[in-house]
Structure 1
Amino acid sequence: MVIAYCGALASFPDYWWTCTLCFGLPFSYIAIQNIYIDHDVMHGATFPVYEWQRFLTHPFADFFSLPWEEFVLEHNRHHASTVDLLIQGEFGWDPEEFHYALQQWAGPWGSNWYKYLLTVPFIPGSMLRFWSKWVPRRIKHNAFVLSLWAFVWLLGTYPLGRPLSEGWRFMFTVSFFARIGYSAAWMFITNFTHSLPWNEFLAQDPGRTWPVLHNVMAMVLGGKHRWNEMLFHDVHHAFPNAVGTLSQRGRFHGWEKVHDAAAEVLHRGLWKPNGDEETQMQKTQRKRSLMMKQGK
């Protein structure tokens, strides 16, 4: 798509906006699908068959990024520490706490994230692995990412009749639309789903009261099987291994069957009563399941 975009600009230089929007909007949409697929794979066939495949998981996400293996480890740590959506880091440090900086419980003022910023080199026995394994892997991954963006920079020079110093103009446009897609996907998967306002909104059964919103958001994210991940992220977090991702299950079993099964899980309750006071998440889940049952 990037090469085709370059060719379109070279062939139709007077139609910059037309060429850019015809490239950018689908490119952002594909970036959204890229993150959902990455998330599905993290909870399924985690490691690729061939080494070169691990470089293709998210190369357009940024100019620098984590290798695939560390991406998976980060997400596994997130699930291990956060079981209840509204209690981030309940069972230890959650590396995604920083993503909740504008929400109600986390951020740079939290008590955990900065302590672990440089944790790996200081874990007993990990110094050798840090320099022999982690650093080379990051260098190799980011060398590929930088070479990819260097190629994009070059596409924006001589093919478009521009000097080498102006390649950033083309690269910036490609990066801009990529970031729209990747940011939108993570905003919905991570930030919205872990926020109290969103879970309180779901407790009002918006499937009946806001049907147009559901259909529009499902279209934006790539289908109702993707939207299920937003609607039942609490089920996903309670059973990240047994259930996996709702979006992946929807691809094989149909979104409606997965939706109804997740609603039944909520109705039965995610956790057995143990005498502790109910959490905010449990209260909203009970209210939501009753509303959904009444709507049947």
Structure 2
Amino acid sequence: MLKHLQAESSMASNEAVVGAEEEAWRTMVQGEGDPNAAGVAESKDKMLKVEKNNENRSLKTNRLFPTPNKPDPMPHNLAFLFTKITPEQMMYMWNVLTFIFLTQCTMIVAYCAALAMFPEMWWTCTLCFGIPFSYVAIQQIYIDHDVMHGATFPVYEFQKFLTHPFADFFSLPWEEFVLEHNRHHASTVDLLIQGEFGWDPEEFHYALQQWAGPWSSNWYKYILTVPFIPVIHFFGLNDTGSLFALEWWMHFPDEGAGGKCNKEFWSKWVPRRVKHNSFVLCLWALVWLLGTYPLGRPLSEGWRFVFTVSFFARVGFSAAWMFITNFTHSLPWNEFLAQDRFVSDL
């Protein structure tokens, strides 16, 4: 009972301090009203504006903003998809995310201990650490994604720092991670029409796999670009990476009137970014130290341990984001789904 009240209190207090940007995103993505607007709220902010005309049609495709196809009456086997998350479920999801972070820390310390005890078995120790570590990173992104859509606000304040600290050496704080992902969903409603209702921060990923048109007749053209997809993910051009953070920070927040600095840039956004990335850098500093004296190496060689840990972390995070970002938005996969539905209808 106490935990239930604590979770409800946390949800209420966190939602009470949500800024104007977060509220605008929430309205944009989840709001109700005009069925063809699907909650598309007008905003004076460039980054918060869904690009549509007076008829609620896309400026890019002239299509009406899609209306959610919620079954009525609701089948019993689908009702859980539209059920609001409970405080207990919210606590469970954040506890799992916290457990994943603690598991990652434990694995790194255990890897250091294994190397210290068996220095001649570097490959064995590294692979026994690296493969499971990559798998845990994949699971972390899936949990991040579920938490983002179902339990956005952490039960405890410190938990927002644990969502993706090993993804890169600096990254978006949790609040902006949520904002940019909602920006993606608000602007790209159709999986195959990126940026239909405004700028999508993930458009570059899709360009590499869709620039040449239909896959069946242009497959050979994609040989030039598709191989670069895992490369850009590995170096941080995904939601939890450093290159993506730089891209987002170059667009958000909007400039103030007359080209002046946004009034909340220094008071709100910079402190969040500094706090998050200070935590991330402290973690990597500890990883650096683990790779020095415990392994009989000088301080200057800590990068060797950092490199290995970061390599396997990036493999896992890249694999997860390639599936979420590239595979689900790919032409072959969506063509397969269309054919499967056609066969099922027959």
Fold match (TM-score > 0.5): yes
| Structure 1: runs of 5 or more not aligned | 108-113, 204-284
Contact 2:201 2:248 in 1 (8 A): no
1:290 and 2:346 are equivalent in the alignment? no
1:122 and 2:255 are equivalent in the alignment? yes
Cα distance in 2 for partners of 1:31, 1:7 equals 21
| Structure 2: runs of 5 or more not aligned | 1-106, 213-224, 226-246
Cα distance in 2 for partners of 1:115, 1:148 equals 23
Instruction: Deviation per CA, 1:77-110: give whole Å up to 9, x if none.
Output: 1111111100001111111112224122499xxx
Cα distance in 2 for partners of 1:77, 1:126 equals 22
Contact 2:172 2:273 in 1 (8 A): yes
Which of 103, 109, 112 aligns to 2:209? It is 103
TM-score (norm 1): 0.65
Runs of 4+ in 1 over 4 A off after TM superposition: 123-126
- For this pair of structures, how many residues does the alignment match? 205
Which of 326, 332, 338 aligns to 1:191? It is 326
User: 1:14 is paired with a residue of what secondary structure?
Assistant: helix
Post-superposition offset of 1:152: 0.2
Residue of structure 2 in register with 1:173 after alignment: 308
Residue of structure 2 in register with 1:248 after alignment: none
Cα distance in 2 for partners of 1:166, 1:119 equals 37
Contact 1:121 1:130 in 2 (8 A): no
Post-superposition offset of 1:292: 3.6
From the superposition, tell whether residues 116 and 94 of structure 1 become closer, same or farther in structure 2 (CA, over 3 Å).
farther
Percent identity for Structure 1 against Structure 2: 78
Cα distance in 1 for partners of 2:115, 2:248 equals 48
Contact 1:120 1:126 in 2 (8 A): no
Residue of structure 2 in register with 1:53 after alignment: 159
1:144 and 2:279 are equivalent in the alignment? yes
Post-superposition offset of 1:197: 2.4
Cα distance in 2 for partners of 1:36, 1:289 equals 26
Post-superposition offset of 1:166: 0.4
Cα distance in 1 for partners of 2:286, 2:116 equals 16
Contact 1:88 1:97 in 2 (8 A): yes
1:35 and 2:141 are equivalent in the alignment? yes
Residue of structure 2 in register with 1:73 after alignment: 179
Cα distance in 2 for partners of 1:130, 1:186 equals 29
RMSD across aligned positions (CA): 2.2
| 1:271-290 equivalence runs, <5 A | 285=338, 287-290=339-342
Cα distance in 2 for partners of 1:27, 1:63 equals 17
Post-superposition offset of 1:126: 7.1
Residue of structure 2 in register with 1:94 after alignment: 200
